[in-house]
Chains A and B, each alone.
Chain A
Amino acid sequence: MAERMGFFTDTSVCIGCKACEVACKEWNDVPDDGFLFRATSYDNTGGLGADTWRHVAFVEQFTRQGDSWLMASDVCKHCTHAACLDVCPTGALFRTEFDTVVVQPDVCNGCGYCVPACPYGVIDRRRDDGRAWKCTMCYDRLRGGLEPACAKACPTDSIQFGPLEELRARAGERLDTLHGAGVAEARLYGESPADGVGGDGAFFLLLDEPEVYGLPPDPVVTTRDLPRMWAFAGTAALSMAAAVALSFARRA
């Protein structure tokens, strides 16, 4: 297997141009997401979904402490422990040689199990064909030795692509720089292998709490408790069977 590849999205330099959204759709032939004026700052695509695989959030914070307009390009996290992949019954979702998580549209049967399984609410079924779609980290480009379209298009290097270990090191340095410059609120999100999904293949540098950007503060792989749940269920079934057997035994 090749080195694990990932995204480091440094939102402190995102200028909200949405080139990532457009480049993603151009390359991956993703349809438009409708033409809805949402009156939520400059965000009119709303969030990640079947037809939006990169999404730039705009958060206006105008307070006595100061003014800011946070912009952040969200994407599938390509989790180390990917629940979508765990629950997929057809094998449409698979882990690639780059350690990314990709849906094969020709295999997906649209069962939709993956949709509630994602702790980030990323993967989604397309309304017209029912199949599940999400960021592939431009699997085809990666196989051709190219960086993903969004990272290629980003004018300020807010979206950085590369070997995950390198990105983690670079992100740590960037965080130190920002902290040194007095940006105490800077923090990394999804970079730790110790978190609830075993670390994200696409992680972020944020300038506020994750919830501000619409990200879950403490995501956990939704299949984490499955073995324990199966164990409970098994125990319960055995108990029930024993109870039933016992009752029959008593009658006998």
Chain B
Amino acid sequence: MAECHPVGFQWVMEAKARGAEVFHIDPRYTRTSAMADAHLPIRAGSDIVLLGALIHHVLAGEHDFREYVLAYTNAATIVSEDFRDTEDLDGLFSGFDPATRTYDPASWAYEAGGDVSGAMSEGEHAAQARLHADSARSDQYGSGGATAHHRARTDPTLRHPRCVYQVLKRHFARYTPEMVEELCGIPRADFRRLAEAVVANSGRERTTAWVYSVGWTQHTVGVQYIRAASILQLLLGNVGRPGGGILALRGHASIQGSTDIPTLFSILPGYLPMPDARMHGDLDGYLAHAAGDTGFWGNKRAYMVSLLKAWWGDAATEDNDYCFGYLPSVTGDHGTYATVLGQIDGTVKGYFVVGENPAIGSAGGKAQRLGLAGLEWLVVRDMTLVETATFWKDGPELETGEMRTEDIATEVFFLPAASHVEKEGTFTQTQRLLQWREKALDPTGDRRSDLWFYHHLGKRIRRRLSEDDVDRPLRDLTWDYPESGPHDDPSAEAVLREINGTGPDGRALSGYTELRPDGSTTCGCWIYCGVYADEVNQAARRRPGGEQSPVALEWGWAWPANRRILYNRASADPEGRPWSERKAYIRWDRDQREWTGPDVPDFERDKPPDYRPPEGATAQAAIGGADPFIMQSDGKGWLYVPAGLADGPLPAHYEPHESPVANSLYGTRANPARREYRRPETPYNSARFPYVITTYRLTEHHTAGGMSRTLPYLAELQPEMFCEVSPELAAEVGLVNGGWATIVTSRSAIEARVLVSPRIRPLRVQGRTIHQVGVPYHWGWAGGGVVTGDAANDLMPIVLDPNVYIQESKAATCDLLPGRRPHGRALLDLIEEYRRG
């Protein structure tokens, strides 16, 4: 965190100053480790073993926060008789189809019985799940809980052998401290210290927070890493309470914003799913499958209709399904890697690359560049001529003879972009906080903001539209943002106001509970509704922290509804009393009959703790007064996920796709549902690659370097591509500090300067020494940089998590050679030799 989020790390330092104990778990000893009370070096890709062992420690010692667990989680819910665990199937869950390598999750469901409402039949469910797994749709299950019976059978004594609590106990029984030592390389004594600290700092009086970033997500089991942390935190009562939570650090200034109002193919603004051509005929069909009917997703029609009204205005009417049919639909995997492979195959003709540099920033660099070369046209918008814009004249494949400039037919349009100080707008950061920034200066020359670009692109396209029906969706779009200045810049505030939404009177809405399903309200992103409440740009508020409560509700605006801690109803006990005065946050005021506290309650303000939903209730009315997780269809925190994940209802440790280590836990080595692409452009490593390689960022640079290699003041601080190795590995391979190393995988070989440091510690894993090689990925061959170097991502495989299609760039294998790499044909020969070997 100190490495990649130094500004946010000030709050860790603040916590430390108040006595917090900080553990850092990372393959390398980093700047974060230097500030931590303890650093636990871990083998990259083994975190579920560690988290699983912590869960085992909590369950075996009955350290769970039992009242919280009983009241707020699905621990007591009974799972279907058909469910088989990894314990029964040697690393597989029930429902796995080896032919398609996908799961049918029907058997993971809760046991039918008791009151079942609003659920699909099991057959329906299985068919849906297959489609959902095929288009990264698990997010809608995860947030909406499409199939969880909100009143499934339970056993509050937690003794039923098929209740979630017992299922967990059995599942995690083999995740022992010995296994942590054997697979993670973390000695038992260090594990014990961590486990005892986590338990001692959880419960009524204390809370523990987990902080992660792409070190947890960029794996073929990335989603299950986060699930494992969720289970641990729910068991310990560390969710929805001050000082608790699982904090995802986002990698750029507004990457949170770019998921809320997404640049992802599988969702619409506010995490509404994209329509799927194979299952959604019309708006009703879409809504039937979009999310649960109970909990706050039960208002999905209001969210969706308001979105359609924001986009198509008066053209959207009840009679035409509010223009639902204008929306594009997905037909399967349209993720970034599927897109790139489609470019190579010639099925993807055009590509917008905006503020990214996939030629060196995405895994499988050569495949990325082959994809670019296969396009008819390419638009790159950036502040500098990044490698993605120049691959056709100076890419590494020209030197090796794999490409010739004269053969590349891609028409490349480079459009200079304004920087963040040259435009106004909001950043949405890690805490879901929207902060407005003013424009400090005008962009020079032809540089324009992205907002200007899309606004004027839209205008130009609309000028060329025909009267044909095929152009109707674009003709009907509301595209009337006020313009100003010499370049007709559209008003960013007008866009923010459209996102906020308006009511029947045309005034800005003040919150998403005002949204209506009848077309009388508009809203560009339901979770952002309220950011322009009272016609005021709430994101621009800058009241200093010292002048208000520590929760600082008047600094910026956090979605949803300006809440700073999500699910904060859980900070009080079922009766609405704080679990302890020390950790008091939100409470039920009996006299005023409302929830109150320093934050905006994440609960209906006047719903009493003893509220019990009536039969047949939908939306929030179906959530009881003691059920804090209001986005879930049952209001519970899910220790066990009966549907919605592509690779199992519980996290299980699988080795990375490429690993020098066998899976000691199960006969199933790697995630059976991972997405592989067996193609010549992205081959996978054989067993001959002995070392673990992990990629990361440095404080001094930003991602693929477009914003840092170009700046002398940053470039001089880390001027050359390097790799970090332990003194032991350096001795084994013959590397010299300050010298050169060649790093080889079956994808490519790159060269890097050598930094030998005891900060990279060899680990004892399965009784032998495992070496890890650390490689930052900021360098590329050009990019307008004052410093250049080989690209780490050229080494990495294209193999993905099956839920969200993220690549496994945190754990793969490699070999090391002393000295610089060969060039030209000789480079290909070297790789070929490794592939054959």
- Which residues 657-698 of B sit at the A interface, judged by CB distance below 8 A? 698
**Range class of the A interface residue count:** 20 to 34
Are B713 and A60 closer than 8 Å at their CB atoms?
no
A195 to chain B, nearest CB (A): 28
A56 to B9, CA, bound (A): 18
- Which residues 9-45 of B sit at the A interface, judged by CB distance below 8 A? 9-10, 13, 29, 31-35, 39
Residues of B within 8 A of A37 (CB): 719-720, 722, 738, 753
Say yes or no: is B247 at the interface (Cβ < 8 Å to chain A): no
Are B714 and A67 closer than 8 Å at their CB atoms?
no
Known: A22-B713, A60-B759, A155-B9. A17 touches B699 (CB 8 A): yes
Residues of A within 8 A of B7 (CB): 155
Are B10 and A155 closer than 8 Å at their CB atoms?
yes
Residues of B within 8 A of A26 (CB): 713
Residues of A within 8 A of B32 (CB): 15
Q: What mask results when residues 1 to 40 of chain A are scored 1 for a CB within 8 Å of chain B, else 0?
A: 0000000000001011111011001100001111111110
A155 to B699, CA, bound (A): 13
Are B699 and A44 closer than 8 Å at their CB atoms?
no
B26 to chain A, nearest CB (A): 13
Residues of A within 8 A of B757 (CB): 41, 60
B253 to chain A, nearest CB (A): 15
Known: A69-B31, A69-B759. A155 touches B6 (CB 8 A): yes
B782 to chain A, nearest CB (A): 15
Say yes or no: is B287 at the interface (Cβ < 8 Å to chain A): no
Are B10 and A35 closer than 8 Å at their CB atoms?
no
Q: What mask results when residues 754 to 767 of chain B are scored 1 for a CB within 8 Å of chain A, else 0?
A: 11111100000000
Q: What mask results when residues 690 to 726 of chain B are scored 1 for a CB within 8 Å of chain A, else 0?
A: 0000000011100000000000111111111010000
Q: Which of A44, A60, A67, A157 contacts B718 (CB 8 A)?
A: A44
A36 to B738, CA, bound (A): 11
Are A71 and B34 closer than 8 Å at their CB atoms?
yes
A94 to B443, CA, bound (A): 40
Are B2 and A32 closer than 8 Å at their CB atoms?
no
Q: Which of B9, B35, B717, B737 contacts A44 (CB 8 A)?
A: B717
Say yes or no: is B168 at the interface (Cβ < 8 Å to chain A): no
Q: Which of A13, A18, A31 contacts B699 (CB 8 A)?
A: A18
Most chain-B Cβ atoms within 10 A of its Cβ — which of A16, A31, A34, A156?
A156
Are A15 and B2 closer than 8 Å at their CB atoms?
yes
A69 to B757, CA, bound (A): 11
Say yes or no: is A45 at the interface (Cβ < 8 Å to chain B): yes
Say yes or no: is B375 at the interface (Cβ < 8 Å to chain A): no
A71 to B32, CA, bound (A): 12
- Which residues 120-178 of A sit at the B interface, judged by CB distance below 8 A? 155-157
Summed over the interface, the residue pairs from A and B with CB atoms below 8 Å come to a total of 96
Say yes or no: is B146 at the interface (Cβ < 8 Å to chain A): no
Interface size on B, residues (CB 8 A): 37
A35 to B2, CA, bound (A): 24
Q: Which of B713, B718, B787 contacts A25 (CB 8 A)?
A: B713
Residues of A within 8 A of B2 (CB): 15-17
Are B6 and A35 closer than 8 Å at their CB atoms?
no
Say yes or no: is B826 at the interface (Cβ < 8 Å to chain A): no
Say yes or no: is A248 at the interface (Cβ < 8 Å to chain B): no
B261 to chain A, nearest CB (A): 28
A15 to B787, CA, bound (A): 24
Residues of B within 8 A of A69 (CB): 29, 31, 33-34, 759
- Which residues 436-487 of B sit at the A interface, judged by CB distance below 8 A? none
Residues of B within 8 A of A39 (CB): 722, 737-738, 753-756
Closest B residue to A177 by CB, please name it.
B17
Are B717 and A45 closer than 8 Å at their CB atoms?
yes
Residues of A within 8 A of B722 (CB): 37, 39
Closest B residue to A41 by CB, please name it.
B757
Say yes or no: is A42 at the interface (Cβ < 8 Å to chain B): yes
Say yes or no: is A68 at the interface (Cβ < 8 Å to chain B): yes
Residues of B within 8 A of A155 (CB): 6-7, 9-10
Say yes or no: is B786 at the interface (Cβ < 8 Å to chain A): yes
Known: A69-B759, A155-B9. A18 touches B717 (CB 8 A): yes
Say yes or no: is A62 at the interface (Cβ < 8 Å to chain B): yes
Are B719 and A36 closer than 8 Å at their CB atoms?
yes
A37 to B32, CA, bound (A): 22
- Which residues 127-170 of B sit at the A interface, judged by CB distance below 8 A? none
Are A32 and B713 closer than 8 Å at their CB atoms?
yes
B37 to chain A, nearest CB (A): 11
Residues of B within 8 A of A71 (CB): 31, 34
A35 to B713, CA, bound (A): 10
Q: What mask results when residues 168 to 194 of chain A are scored 1 for a CB within 8 Å of chain B, else 0?
A: 000000000000000000000000000
A120 to chain B, nearest CB (A): 22
Are A68 and B34 closer than 8 Å at their CB atoms?
yes
A74 to chain B, nearest CB (A): 15
Are A45 and B6 closer than 8 Å at their CB atoms?
no
Q: Which of B33, B718, B738, B786 contacts A42 (CB 8 A)?
A: B718
A37 to chain B, nearest CB (A): 4
Are A13 and B13 closer than 8 Å at their CB atoms?
yes
B27 to chain A, nearest CB (A): 15
Residues of A within 8 A of B714 (CB): 22
Q: Which of B700, B753, B759 contacts A18 (CB 8 A)?
A: B700
Residues of B within 8 A of A19 (CB): 6
A69 to chain B, nearest CB (A): 4
Closest A residue to B755 by CB, please name it.
A39
Known: A15-B6, A156-B10. A67 touches B39 (CB 8 A): yes
Are B719 and A16 closer than 8 Å at their CB atoms?
no
Closest B residue to A68 by CB, please name it.
B34
Are B716 and A45 closer than 8 Å at their CB atoms?
yes
Known: A16-B2, A44-B716. 20 other contacts (CB 8 A): A15-B9, A15-B13, A16-B31, A16-B34, A16-B699, A17-B699, A25-B713, A33-B716, A35-B712, A35-B715, A37-B720, A38-B738, A39-B737, A42-B31, A44-B719, A69-B29, A69-B33, A70-B34, A155-B6, A156-B13
Interface pairs (19), CB distance under 8 Å = A15-B2, A15-B31, A16-B31, A16-B699, A22-B717, A32-B712, A35-B712, A36-B719, A37-B720, A37-B738, A39-B756, A44-B718, A60-B757, A69-B31, A70-B34, A71-B34, A155-B6, A155-B7, A155-B9
* Chain A positions near chain B (C-beta within 8 angstroms): 13, 15-19, 21-22, 25-26, 31-39, 41-42, 44-45, 60, 62, 67-71, 155-157
